[in-house]
């Protein structure tokens, strides 16, 4: 039988049984679509996460957090075993490789009001070096200075999301906002950085001088965390050890007692990211490939049932001169066409899905053509293999028995 006639005959047969064709193509369609979308979103999310972590933990830096890690997990910062600004000053004085630092105190939700517009936002207290240490500048206005910190000034920096919520078309620089019951002058608008790795909108927050936060807002003398800049030529791990020794001595910890603080370096963060990367690069694609294989099982089962339903057709074709290999090729081509059709539809659906997601979310996903075409190739190969057994059974039918 000519190839063109074989293909046209298979197409007519698939079109004649549309519902059966749909269910056979469905498994491949779901598998390739899932593979495409999962890999695209995984790569986009991974890159976005790496960019955010690079901003937070870039270069030669050490992040210090109050609270150690015990059997029940990280302990809470209660003030009794917390960090103080004297601790940070001692570290800079006694560890020569530390070049600068910025403390932080945090409040999860405060009321911010401007001209009758109110919202709840996060508040962070920082020092004047936050701009360079935290790698976050202002796009309008100016950052607060050493004089503001020493005077516990009532000045603030606001994020872009906060600006949109309460200022509308008003330029926030120079305006007075009320945080709780305390008025603050807005000095500047923080550079937009989006959400952090925890999913928190870092643009929906207000920054004030650390001394103002401790004395005027919270009335405490301890801080949540700090970030240290380290000489790039220095050994980062040795600096962590020296920093830890200073804190343990100041906190009067014995050798048997665990640290009441935690440290993070870019190297540790990269190791955690590499561990999490396996989810995006290995586990999720495997799940999608499994669905392709399951789809192939559906194709094989439906084709086997089709052989039983089409015994009369097979017997008639053999009676008029069709060879066993002609029957074999017909069923094999049908299964291949079904899986190819499902794969091509999956590429189209995947393109549309990824495009819609990138338009309505901050995820910068790119269509993974190499992975998608590889998945399509696997789907077609699996479809061919799924059609082998039904094709052999159809080719081996006795025409006399089939026509009865």
| CA gap 250, 58 in Å, rounded | 28
Cα–Cα distance, 172 to 185 (Å, whole number): 9
pLDDT of residue 84: 93
DSSP lists the bridge partners of residue 262 as 65
Characterize the bridge pairing of strands 69-70 and 73-74.
antiparallel
Strand 138-141 to strand 61-66: parallel, antiparallel, or no bridges (unpaired)? unpaired
Distance CA 195, CA 161 (A): 11
Measure the CA–CA gap between 159 and 157, rounded to whole angstroms. 7
Q: Confirm if 153 and 124 have CB atoms less than 8 A apart.
A: no
pLDDT for residue 16: 67
pLDDT for position 319: 63
Q: So what's the pLDDT on residue 167?
A: 92
Q: What is the pLDDT of residue 286?
A: 73
**For residues 115 and 374, what is the distance between their CA atoms, to the nearest angstrom?**
58
H-helix or E-strand spanning residue 225 = strand 225-230
pTM for this entry? 0.63
Nearest one of 107, 108, 104 to 127, comparing CA atoms: 104
pLDDT tens, N- to C-terminus, the chain (404 residues): 566 666 676 677 666 667 777 777 777 777 777 777 777 776 666 666 666 666 555 668 899 999 864 433 444 444 445 799 999 999 999 999 999 999 999 998 899 999 889 999 999 999 999 999 988 899 999 999 999 999 999 999 999 999 999 998 899 999 999 998 899 999 999 999 887 766 678 899 999 999 999 998 999 989 999 999 999 898 988 999 999 999 999 999 998 899 999 998 877 666 666 665 666 666 666 766 676 677 667 666 776 666 666 666 666 666 666 676 777 677 777 777 877 888 888 888 888 887 887 776 666 666 777 767 777 777 777 767 766 666 666 666 565 554 55
The CA distance from 168 to 378, in Å, is: 53
Q: Which pLDDT score is estimated for 73?
A: 40
Are the C-beta atoms of residues 203 and 152 closer than 8 Å to each other? Answer: no
């Amino acid at each position: 039988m000519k190839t063109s006639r074989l293909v046209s005959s298979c197409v007519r047969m698939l079109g004649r049984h549309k519902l059966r064709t749909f269910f056979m193509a469905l498994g491949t369609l779901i598998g390739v679509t899932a593979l495409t979308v999962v890999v695209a979103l995984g790569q986009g999310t991974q890159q976005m996460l790496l960019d955010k972590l690079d901003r937070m933990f870039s270069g030669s830096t050490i992040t210090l957090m109050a609270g150690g890690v015990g059997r029940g997990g990280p302990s809470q910062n209660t003030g009794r075993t917390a960090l103080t600004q004297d601790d940070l000053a001692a570290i800079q004085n006694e560890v020569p490789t530390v070049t600068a630092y910025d403390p932080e105190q945090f409040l999860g939700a405060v009321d911010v009001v401007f001209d009758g517009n109110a919202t709840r936002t996060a508040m962070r207290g920082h020092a004047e070096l936050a701009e360079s240490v935290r790698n976050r500048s202002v796009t309008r206005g100016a950052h607060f200075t050493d004089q503001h910190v020493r005077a516990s000034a009532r000045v603030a920096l606001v994020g872009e999301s906060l600006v949109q919520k309460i200022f509308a078309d008003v330029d926030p620089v120079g305006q007075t906002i009320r945080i709780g019951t305390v008025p603050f002058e807005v000095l500047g608008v923080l550079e937009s950085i989006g959400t952090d790795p925890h999913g928190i909108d870092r643009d929906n927050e207000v920054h004030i001088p650390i001394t103002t936060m401790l004395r005027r807002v919270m009335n405490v003398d301890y801080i949540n965390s700090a970030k240290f800049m380290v000489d790039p030529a220095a050994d980062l791990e040795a600096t962590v050890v020296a920093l830890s020794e200073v804190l343990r001595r100041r906190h009067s910890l014995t050798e048997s007692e665990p640290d009441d603080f935690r440290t993070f370096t870019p190297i540790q963060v990269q190791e955690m990211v590499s561990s999490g990367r396996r989810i995006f690069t290995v586990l999720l694609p495997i799940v999608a490939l499994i669905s392709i294989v399951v789809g192939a099982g559906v194709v094989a089962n439906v084709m086997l049932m089709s052989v039983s339903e089409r015994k009369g057709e097979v017997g008639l074709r053999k009676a008029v001169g069709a060879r066993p290999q002609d029957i074999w090729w017909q069923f094999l081509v049908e299964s291949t066409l079904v899986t190819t059709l499902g794969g091509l539809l999956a590429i189209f659906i995947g393109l549309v899905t990824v495009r819609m997601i990138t338009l309505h979310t901050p995820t910068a996903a790119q269509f993974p053509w190499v992975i998608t075409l590889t998945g399509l190739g696997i789907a077609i190969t699996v479809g061919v293999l799924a059609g082998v057994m039904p094709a052999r059974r159809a080719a081996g039918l006795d025409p006399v028995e089939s026509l009865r």
